[in-house]
Structure 1
Amino acid sequence: MDPSTLEALCADAWPPLVSKPLGDWRLRACDGYTGRANSALAVGDPAIPVAQALEAVVGFADEQRIRPCVQVIVGSETERAVASAGWSVNLAHPKGAESSVLVSTHAVPGPACSVTDTPPAGWFDLVVGGPPTPAQRQLLTSGPRVGFAALHRDGRLVGAARGCVVEGYLHVSVVEVAADHRRQGLGSALLAGLDEWAGTDHRVLQVAVDNMPAQALYATLGYAESHRYRYWVP
């Protein structure tokens, strides 16, 4: 699948509180929760010159009280146009300005965790650190088909992840393992559970390029990079 189509698929799996089309672009806002859900997905043709489209991004961000930001495929014609308009890579982004989009057709081997259609007790505590805000609940529980992976040890939830199936792809996100249970294979068990639940041969996930532990895990499980994207700001 080409990067533009894959980015649209990932966006469908990560639905914000507000989404507004601008040609092929998507203006998105989710009360500040996650970079993807609070940036304009600048992929495809915005139907107006890019400089004008960026002005629309700024106006939308002001309305939604978020920082203007665009998510752009690295090396694309759009990225060159955004740079020419005077925008800069957002080096201050909390999880890094640049991320890899990884894909796989390999099922994860080994024992699988349970996956449910609703978040089990403790799931949000591990993923967002407590009861979810309306924006967090919207983003994490909405989508075409969503599953919640969970791993328990001694009655305590110590591993969590979210899967969303879109057009035959399993989109994997928020893979979290409690700090005192890391490096024990729980991440693989979460991914194996989502694989078994989804029943599809195609997987995609997005991870910061400088998140080396996650990058190493996904590489051992057969994931390979499709492309990268970056966040740009005025």
Structure 2
Amino acid sequence: MDHLETLCARAWPALAEVPLGDWLMRAADGFTGRANSTLTCGDPGVPVPLALITVEGFAREHGIKPAAHVIRGSVHEEAFEAAGWRVDLDHPGGAESLVMTGPLEKFASGVAVSRDLPGWWDMTAGSEVTTAQRHVLGSGGDVCFASLTEDGTGDGTVTAAVRGAVVEDVLHVARLAVRPSHRRRGLARRLMGELAGWGLERGATTCALQVAEHNGAAIGLYEELGCTEHHRYRYWTPAVS
């Protein structure tokens, strides 16, 4: 679990990343919980209560809410609770997420072309793209800005978009979105198939997806593609911050 989380972190790099032993403190101006929390895999090199004080200081320095990305059931959870931290039930994306994995060859169909289109950014980041968004989405291994367009040529309106990044033999998949007017047409499945083909060409064999537990539609799609739950993680934050 720790290794997979580390690969996912490498595929989703924050603007600021500072190691704390094996942990990784991250900040990206508030863009996504993953890029603005401390990944707590392994040993921080100091007692956990002291490590959490350092994590809070890092968060204050970067103007973000103190948060820790913690694997569900890990050895650190009891120490977090004892130090006065709690599961962040108010997290905008949900307190708990699934990490799902699956073999790319099972659903690969075609090969995606990476196109840095304005419409891709509109669908995955919004109309006004920040420096943090460009860094997180545009960095991290071999990155693919995959999309489908209305006319199929690349010049029309973007109807579906997804971001992929290959790190070692894992294709990290994120920001899958389909325009509301074009849903229920199989575009998400088609786009995932093309992204899988792109990943296979770059030596990836497995995909990894991090999806909020309440996102039943996405989980259902990934299960249909042959992905299964690998583990879960939760965000923890100081009870008083």
TM-score bin (small chain): over 0.9
Distance 2:206 2:107 in 1: 15
Q: Deviation digits for residues 32-65 of structure 1, max 9, x if unmatched? A: 0000000000111000000000000000000000
Shift of 1:115: 2.2
Determine if contact 1:24/1:44 at 8 Å carries over to the other structure: yes
Q: 1:228 to 1:216 in 2, by over 3 A?
A: same
Partner residue of 1:22?
20
1:1-234 alignment runs, 5 A limit:
3-107=1-105, 109=107, 112=110, 114-116=112-114, 118-154=115-151, 155-199=156-200, 200-234=204-238
Query: 2:147 aligns to what SS in structure 1?
Result: strand
Q: SS of 2:105's equivalent?
A: coil
String of CA shifts for 1:172-206, please: whole Å, max 9, x gaps. 00001111111211111111111111112211110
Contact 1:113–1:151 at 8 Å: present in 2 too? no
| Bigger shift: residues 150-159 or 224-233 | 150-159
**TM-score, with structure 1 as normaliser:** 0.95
Measured in 1, the distance between the counterparts of 2:7 and 2:107 equals 25
Please tell me the root mean square deviation across aligned C-alpha atoms, in Å: 1.3
Conserved 8 A contact 2:111-2:198: no
1:85 CA drift (Å):
1.2
1:100/1:227 contact within 8 Å kept: yes
Q: 78-87 or 141-150, which moves further after superposition?
A: 78-87
The runs of 5 or more residues in structure 1 that have no matched partner are none
Asked whether the equivalents of residues 13 and 164 of structure 1 are also in contact (C-alpha less than 8 Å), the reply is yes
CA contact (8 A) 2:160 2:187 kept: yes
* d(CA) in 2 for partners of 1:206, 1:114: 21
- Say if 1:110 and 1:76 are closer, same or farther in 2 by CA, change over 3 A: closer
Contact 2:137 2:163 in 1 (8 A): yes
Local SS of the residue matching 1:21 = strand
User: Are the aligned partners of 1:108 and 1:192 in contact in 2 as well (CA < 8 Å)?
Assistant: no
Q: For 1:114 and 1:156, locate their aligned partners in 2 and report how far apart those are by CA, in whole Å.
A: 17
Q: Which runs of 5+ in 2 are unaligned?
A: none
Deviations 1:74-103 (A, max 9, x none): 001012211121101111111100000000
Secondary structure in 2 aligned to 1:32?
coil
Partners of 2:39 and 2:104 in 1: CA distance: 28
Judge which range, 184-193 or 160-169, deviates more.
184-193
After TM superposition, give the deviation of residue 107 of structure 1 in Å. Answer: 2.9
The 2-side partners of 1:115 and 1:108 are apart by 20
Q: Tell me the percent identity.
A: 48
Aligned residue identity for 1:93: H
